[in-house]
């Protein structure tokens, strides 16, 4: 039996190339060697977007189309919707009975999100508890591994602590999930800030080639370099970060870096070369996305079938959990 991997993504907007590099490429790579379950984390989306839920379902279908276009194969992996498997919520509730609140408050990304999303009231119980819901998402399938970025490792450590605490009361039931780190650091936005749709600094997976080129040509570079003959800085320059991520011609990238540092190449050439590389990466994704969307019901059918299969696993786990906590009335 293959080891199991579980991961999810919040449907809060269109997916961009940061999702491709940070998650989707990894998801696709894992399929051959792992039993993969990937879910639309619609409940997680509501922890911060509770006041504007009108687009959640449309984004869910749109995002799933991008997953498939990026190489996630529904014949190899189970794709499903979190809220269609209510056992996630039941396990979350039972875990919340034994997990101390300070454990949730100390998760680094909890404090970071509070700071970054000051315009939203995130004082709700749902937002405080989202790391625990993430734990339930993983434990309900007894996952062995979770693909994460370095900023998510603390969440997984909380998950393991929750497992140990549960076991201390009710006996052994869950494996302690281990991280599978993404192989490329988080991409910056086009303006060198954090990549976010709210900043308008993303390249979306659904962008056409002309749009991609226009966005790349507007990218932030070395602000001190006002002429092409002035030596420029490569380190921390998002244009070269993107070259490292998307341009497979290492010799070309090394040459551009050397000439940029020497002041013998202009930003226009560097960006045009990058635009060509990004579009070459996105072309097959665009083609597969168009094919997926040519059948209006296909994505929904895939998600409904996957949700049914995921729920069968979750129901079996919850039967074991209820037995463990002595809440079995059959």
Three-class DSSP category at 9: strand
Phi, psi of 4 (to 5 degrees): -100, 140
Q: How far apart are CA 78 and CA 64, in angstroms?
A: 12
Give me the pLDDT at residue 309, please.
98
Please give the biggest Cα pair distance in the chain.
79
Three-class DSSP category at 221: coil
Give me the pLDDT at residue 184, please.
67
Q: How far apart are CA 25 and CA 183, in angstroms?
A: 10
Three-class DSSP category at 10: coil
Render each residue's pLDDT in the chain as its tens digit; 330 residues.
899 999 999 999 999 999 999 899 999 999 999 999 999 999 999 998 999 999 999 999 999 999 999 999 999 999 999 999 999 999 999 999 999 999 999 888 777 777 777 778 888 899 999 999 999 999 999 999 999 877 778 778 999 999 999 999 999 999 999 999 876 668 999 999 989 888 899 999 999 999 999 999 999 999 999 898 999 999 999 999 999 999 999 999 999 999 999 999 999 999 999 999 999 999 999 999 999 999 989 999 999 999 999 999 999 999 999 999 999 897
Q: How far apart are CA 217 and CA 6, in angstroms?
A: 37
DSSP code for 185? P
Measuring CA to CA, which residue among 83, 100, 95, 169 is closest to residue 136?
Answer: 95
Q: How far apart are CA 299 and CA 194, in angstroms?
A: 30
Measuring CA to CA, which residue among 63, 18, 19 is closest to residue 40?
Answer: 63
Q: Where does residue 195 rank: exposed (0-12), middle (13-18), buried (19+ CB within 10 A)?
A: buried
Phi, psi of 79 (to 5 degrees): -105, 130
* Token output for 247: 């341009």
Residues of the chain with CATH 3.40.50.620: 4-187+297-324
Residues of the chain with CATH 1.10.240.10: 207-290
Q: Which CATH superfamily is domain 4-187+297-324 in?
A: HUPs (3.40.50.620)
Q: Which CATH superfamily is domain 207-290 in?
A: Tyrosyl-Transfer RNA Synthetase (1.10.240.10)
For the chain, the first-to-last Cα distance in angstroms comes to: 30
Measuring CA to CA, which residue among 310, 6, 39, 2 is closest to residue 145?
Answer: 6
pTM given for the model: 0.94
Question: Could you write out the DSSP letters of every residue in 61-99?
Answer: HHHHHHHHHTT--TTTSEEEEGGG-THHHHHHHHHHTTS
Q: For residue 51, what are the CA distances in angstroms to 55, 56, 120, 124, 205?
A: 11, 11, 9, 12, 26
Phi, psi of 5 (to 5 degrees): -120, 135
Q: How far apart are CA 268 and CA 326, in angstroms?
A: 67
């Amino acid at each position: 039996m293959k080891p199991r991997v579980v991961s999810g993504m919040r449907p809060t907007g269109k997916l961009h190339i940061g999702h491709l590099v940070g998650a989707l490429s990894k998801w696709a790579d894992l399929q051959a060697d792992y039993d993969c379950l990937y879910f639309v984390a619609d409940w997680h989306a509501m922890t911060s977007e509770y006041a504007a839920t009108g687009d959640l379902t449309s984004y869910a279908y749109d995002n799933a189309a991008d997953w498939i276009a990026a190489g996630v194969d529904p014949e190899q992996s189970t794709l499903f919707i979190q809220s269609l498997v209510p056992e996630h919520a039941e396990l979350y509730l039972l875990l919340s009975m034994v997990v101390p609140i300070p454990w949730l408050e100390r998760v680094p990304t909890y404090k970071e999100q509070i700071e970054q999303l000051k315009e939203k009231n995130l004082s709700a119980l749902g937002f405080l508890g989202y790391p625990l819901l993430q734990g339930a998402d993983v434990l309900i399938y007894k996952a062995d591994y979770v693909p994460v970025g370095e900023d998510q490792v603390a969440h997984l450590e909380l998950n393991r602590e929750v497992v140990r605490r549960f076991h201390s009361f009710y006996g052994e039931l869950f494996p302690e999930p281990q991280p599978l780190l993404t192989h490329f650091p988080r991409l910056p936005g086009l303006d060198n800030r954090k990549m976010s749709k709210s900043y308008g600094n993303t390249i979306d997976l659904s962008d056409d080639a002309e749009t991609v080129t226009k966005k790349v040509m507007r990218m932030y570079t070395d602000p001190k370099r006002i002429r092409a003959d002035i030596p420029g800085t490569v380190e921390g320059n998002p244009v070269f970060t993107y070259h490292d991520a998307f341009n497979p011609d290492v010799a070309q990238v090394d040459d551009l870096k050397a000439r940029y540092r020497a002041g013998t190449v202009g930003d226009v050439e560097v960006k045009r070369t990058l635009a060509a590389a990004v579009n070459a990466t996105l072309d097959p994704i665009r083609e597969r996305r168009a094919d997926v969307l040519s059948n209006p019901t296909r994505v929904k059918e895939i998600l409904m079938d996957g949700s049914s299969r995921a729920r069968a696993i979750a129901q079996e786990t919850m039967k074991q959990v209820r037995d463990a906590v002595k809440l079995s009335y059959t």
